[in-house]
Amino acid sequence: MSSEKLHQIRWVFLLILGVSFLFRPSPKVFAHEISGYAAGEVRLFPNQALYSSQNDQSSSFSIFPEYYHEFESGSSFTFAPFFRLDSGDQERTHFDIRELTYLWLQEDFELRVGVRKVFWGVAETIHLVDIINQTDLVENIDTEDKLGQPMINFSIPKDWGTIDIFWMPFFRERTFAGTGGRLRGATVIDEDRTQYESAAEEWHSDWAFRYSHTFDDLDIGLSQFVGTNRDPTLLDGTDSSGNSIKIPKYEQIKQTSLDASYVIGEWLWKLESIYRTGQGNDDYFAWVGGFEYTFVGMLGSNMDFGMIGEWMFDTREDEASTAFENDIATGLRLAVNDAASTEALLGWVQDLDTSARFLFLEASRRFGDNWLLTAELRTFLNQPPEDFLFEQHDDEVMQIELSYYF
C-alpha cells in the first residue's frame, strides 16, 4: 500500500473519531470488557503447485482482540483490530481494523459512526445481497471474511420495521493472493495499478438504504445500494517486464436486492436476489434460493441433522464474473449439541452446464472453555477449460486452526 493511500486512510479514521467525539456520551462508565482470540493455522496443499513460486504448505498466526465499552446511557464504543502473519503468502500477512465504532443509542433512533462490519443475507453458499463490506479474499476463498468499512449508519427501529441509511465516504479495495499464494489464477493481480470509473476513486461517496422486518415466521429485507462495486472487473495488462497481469477496475453500480427466509416446522426456506446495473455492458439479475430441513433430536439423541439444497443462477450465464452462474449446491449439517459444541458441514456444488464441481468440508469442536479446533477441506474437481475456475483446477487445501479465546 502506497504512503499516499496510508495518509488518506489516516484522515478517514481521524474524521470518524472526530464525529464520534461530537456525540460522546456521559463519561460515566457502565461496563467495559476485552475479548477475542489468538490462533495458529496450518495449510496443506496435497496437489502439486500449478504455478511457479507457489508453496505446498504454509503456517500463520492471527490475533483478533475486541475492546467493548458501554456507557450508562446504553451507548457504546467497540474497537476490534485484526492481524495475520503468514509464512507462505506475503499478501496474506496483513492488518485491518474490523471495527472502530461508536454507537449513540437514543429512544427513537440509533447512530453508528466509525468502521464496521455489516452482514446481509440468508443463503448458505453465496451472499449476493451482502454488499456493504469488501471481501478479504486473501483470508479465505469462501468470501466470508470482510474488511472493516468506514461509514455512518442511521437506524430507525419501529414496530412496522427497521429503516437503515448508510453513508460510506471511503472505499476498500479487495485483497488478493500474492505470487506465493495457492487457489489463485495463473496471472497475478497487480493492486498497485487499480483503476476506478469514478474520478473520485476510493473517495467516492457510496450510499445504501435498507428496510427489514419480521412478519411472524417470515424475515424480509429490501435494500438499495448506489456506489462503487465491491466486485472488481479484472482487465488484461502487462508489467514493466512484459509479463501478463490482471488489473482490478471498480465500476459505479446500482443494486436493488431482496432477501427473505421463512420457517415452517423443520423447514427453512431461503431466497436472495439482486438486480444490478453499471457492471459491464449489460444489466442483470442473479439469485440463490433453496431450503434446509432439520431432523431435530435425530434417532432419539441430542443431535440435529440438516439437509441443504440451493440453486444459484445469473442471467449473464457464460459471461458472468462468478463461478456460480447456473449451479446447484447440496449439503449435510450435523450439530452434535454436546458440551464441546461439535459441528460439521459437508457441501457439494455442481455446475449444471459442465462437469465442474466444488467440494468443501468444515468441522469444529471446543476443548474446555477457551480452545476451539476447526478444520476445513476445499477442492476443485473436473474444471473444464471454459469454466470460470479452471485456473484452480485439480487444486485443494486442507486447513487446521487452533484458537484460544479470551
pLDDT greater than 70 at residue 48? yes
Higher pLDDT, 31 or 262: 262
* Under 8 Å between Cβ of 174 and 230: yes
Contacts of residue 267, Cβ cutoff 8 Å, sequence gap at least 6: 291, 292, 293
Residues in the chain: 406
Q: 361: which strand partners?
A: 346, 377
* Under 8 Å between Cβ of 287 and 256: no
Residue 239 is predicted with a pLDDT of 86
What burial class does residue 101 get, using C-beta atoms within 10 Å of its C-beta: 0-12 exposed, 13-18 middle, 19+ buried?
buried
Closest alpha carbon to 395 in 76, 177, 98, 158: 177
pLDDT greater than 90 at residue 273? yes
Q: 375: which strand partners?
A: 363, 400
Q: What is the mean pLDDT of residues 198-216?
A: 97
User: Rounded to whole angstroms, how far apart are CA atoms 261 and 132?
Assistant: 20
For the ranges 22-26, 106-110, 370-374, which has the lowest average pLDDT?
22-26
Cell 455489516, located at residue: 118
HEC profile of 77-105: EEEEEEEEEECCCHHHCEEEEEEEEEEEE
Residue environment code for 53-83, b if the CB has 16+ CB neighbours within 10 A, otherwise e: ebeeebebebebebbebbbeeebbbbbbbbe
pLDDT band at 13 (very low <50, low <70, confident <90, very high): low
Per-residue cell: 321: 464474473
User: Rounded to whole angstroms, how far apart are CA atoms 299 and 353?
Assistant: 38
For the chain, what is the largest distance between any 2 Cα atoms, rounded to a whole number of angstroms?
66
User: Rounded to whole angstroms, how far apart are CA atoms 265 and 263?
Assistant: 6
What is each CA distance from 215 to 160, 184, 186, 238, 260, in whole angstroms?
Answer: 9, 43, 48, 54, 11
Phi-psi region of 198 (alpha: psi -120 to 50; beta: other; left: phi over 0): beta
Q: What is the mean pLDDT of residues 176-192?
A: 86
What burial class does residue 186 get, using C-beta atoms within 10 Å of its C-beta: 0-12 exposed, 13-18 middle, 19+ buried?
exposed
List the domain range (segments joined by +) for residue 335. 3-405
Per-residue cell: 17: 473519531
Residue 9 is predicted with a pLDDT of 53
pLDDT greater than 70 at residue 280? yes
pLDDT band at 269 (very low <50, low <70, confident <90, very high): very high
Domain containing residue 104: CATH number: 2.40.160.10
Q: 272: which strand partners?
A: 259, 288
* Under 8 Å between Cβ of 99 and 119: no
User: Rounded to whole angstroms, how far apart are CA atoms 391 and 394?
Assistant: 9
Alpha-carbon 377 to chain mean position: 18
For the residues of 337-394, what is the DSSP string, one character each? -STT--EEEEEEEEESSSS-EEEEEEEEEEETTTEEEEEEEEEEE---TTSTTGGGTT
For the ranges 115-124, 159-168, 207-216, 322-331, which has the lowest average pLDDT?
322-331
Residue 14 is predicted with a pLDDT of 53
pLDDT greater than 80 at residue 230? yes
Residue 44 is predicted with a pLDDT of 95
Cell 493511500, located at residue: 5
pLDDT 10s digits, 49-82: 877 788 889 999 999 999 999 998 889 999 999 9
Cell 496471472, located at residue: 187
Work out how many domains the chain is built from and give that number: 1
Closest alpha carbon to 286 in 148, 123, 156: 123
pLDDT band at 26 (very low <50, low <70, confident <90, very high): very low
Residue 73 is predicted with a pLDDT of 87
Residue 394 is predicted with a pLDDT of 67
User: Rounded to whole angstroms, how far apart are CA atoms 368 and 402?
Assistant: 13
Q: What is the mean pLDDT of residues 4-29?
A: 50
